[in-house]
Structure formats: C-alpha cells, structure tokens
Amino acid sequence: MTLTSLRLVKEILAKHGIRPSKGLGQNFLIDRGAIRKLVAASSIQSNDTILEIGPGIGTLTQELAQLAKKVISVEKDAKMIEILRETLSEFKNIEIIHGDALKSNYKLPATNYKLVSNLPYYITAPTIRKFLEASKAKPYSMTLIVQKEVAQRICAKPPKMSILAASVQVYATPKIISYIKKTAFWPKPKVDAAILQITPFPQPYSIDFPKFFTVVKAGFKQPRKQLVNNLSAGFGLSREKTEQWLCSNDIEPARRAETLSVQDWINLTNTL
Ligand code: SAH
C-alpha cells in the first residue's frame, strides 16, 4: 500500500478520528513526484541508516524503508504513532520512536546516518542547528523539505547573508535541489517549499564556535547599521579599537554584516 493520494490520507485520518494539527506543523505529502524527488536527492544506499523526523502517517517512511537498511522515525504525536503501527506494520527495518526530535529523549544512530525529512516547519531552524552541532553523532547529510524562503535564506551568499546563513555555512554546505509547489501537501501550506540538502564538512573548522556565534550575533544586532557600530557596542570596545580589528582583517568598518562571508566572521573570531 502506498500512501500518497489525498483520498487515502484523509481516509486514514478519518478512521482514527483525527484532524491535521496546525500546532504540530502537520502538512502531509500527497504528491508522488515530490516524494520521488526527495528520495532521489537523498541518494540512499542499501546499507544506509536513515533518521526521519516527523513521519506523520508514514508516506515517506515507506519509500525510505524500501531502499535503506534501517529507518528510524521520530514522531511527537501519539495519534500518528498509532497510525504508523498500522501503515508500517509490514516493514521489519523501521524503528518508530515516540518523541520530540528537538529533545534528547532518543538515541541518535551510532553509525554514519543520513537525515531525511519533510520537516514540520516550526522546528526547521532548531532542528538544523541541533544536527549540525551534534558533535559525536553528526549526520552524513540532511535532505529536507523546508519553506522555499527559508531554504533561500540558508543558501544565501554575501551581500545577502544572515545569522541563519552564517550559522549553517560555518558547519556545512547547503544546496537547494529543487522547488516543490504548496499543492504537494495537504492541508495546503501558505507558501511553496524546497528540497534543501545540507552536507556537513567532513573536517569541521577548528574554531571557538561559541565565540564565533557571539561575534556574528553582535555584528547582526542592528543589521542596517555599520559593523563598526554594532561590534563596538556589542563588545564594549572603543570605535578606534574596533576599526583596527576590522581593518586588520581587510574589512571596511562601514560595511554591513550581511556583506561578510563566513571566512570574514572566522577571521574576526580568531582575532577578537
Ligand atoms: N513526513 C510526513 C508528515 C509531515 S508533517 C509527510 O511528509 O507526509 C510533520 C510531522 O512532524 C507530523 O507528523 C508532526 O506530528 C510531526 N512533528 C511535529 N513536531 C515534531 C517534533 N518536535 N518532533 C517529532 N515530530 C514532530
């Protein structure tokens, strides 16, 4: 049984007396093409372990389980767990965990795993942060459906950088694989989506990450203001000292934070 048609999704929920929860970001995939694209982008090998967040009624989970060695799916909604026990009952290689993806109430796979998910949109940024910062059990790659605009912001380059872009790009290479129309989901969300792939660097930068984030946050405090103002205020430094700091890193003090590259922020971090 494949679960993609709108009729089928509605039937399953009706049978359990459930309506999609807005609060839990429930927008179910109902488009075969979109699912196929997401699965293809994930390049799943037969010995892969896949971690999925928010399986819902198990539409994507089924497809993943046919290709991977093992699929671990973390779902917060107890009602969905009940449904999953039915829809995924034939699969022996799926582990369903009832839990919150953002909490540490479940074990991350010990092996080099891939994260694949049509994420509930309200946890996009914290989820990405959690998995990029997971020092021991970092995924090999993350292939995610997120809101189109969020995907574009994450992939932005100077002069359109943001805290979000810098905090992903200091750990990984993000890439938009393709766009997905909002009609691929039910209930239909307000905006279109994108398949975003984030590949952590095999060799992470050896920098002081908390310090990096302090510098980036200070720089972006008032994004319309010149860097020199934000940084001198943020670190209680004189204007002169701050100008010296910026210039010694080849950064014009009058520039705005959004024009700096990740390398610029790293240089500033290393010389603070
Ligand atoms: N993957 C399914 C469902 C997507 S909807 C599909 O594509 O059709 C998002 C799913 O994430 C819902 O099932 C929702 O209950 C679940 N969810 C929401 N918040 C969560 C959290 N914090 N941790 C785990 N799952 C969550």
pLDDT per residue over 6-35, tens digit each?
A: 999 999 999 999 999 999 999 999 999 999
CATH 3.40.50.1820 correct for 6-200: no
Ligand 1: which residues within 6 Å by Cβ?
24-29, 53-56, 59-60, 74-77, 80, 100-102, 118, 120, 123
Cβ-based neighbours of 7, under 8 Å, separated by 6 or more: none
Q: Does residue 1 carry a pLDDT above 60?
A: no
pLDDT digits (tens, 9 = 90+) for 29-42: 999 999 999 999 99
pLDDT digits (tens, 9 = 90+) for 138-189: 899 999 999 999 999 999 999 999 999 999 999 999 999 999 999 999 999 9
pLDDT digits (tens, 9 = 90+) for 63-82: 999 999 999 999 999 999 99
Please give the pLDDT value at position 232: 98
Kindly tell me the burial class for residue 137, based on how many C-beta atoms sit within 10 Å of its own C-beta (0-12, 13-18, 19 or more). middle
Structure-token pair, residue 89: 């009952």
Closest ligand 1 atom to residue 120 Cα is: 9
Structure-token pair, residue 76: 């917060």
Q: Does residue 57 carry a pLDDT above 80?
A: yes
Rounded CA gap, 271 and 164, in Å?
Answer: 22
Rounded CA gap, 142 and 62, in Å?
Answer: 18
Q: Output the residue whose Cα is nearest ligand 1's atom 16.
A: 54
Hey, where are the domains in the chain?
Answer: 6-200, 209-271
- Correct CATH for 209-271 of 3.40.50.300, 1.10.287.370, 1.10.8.100, 1.10.3720.10: 1.10.8.100
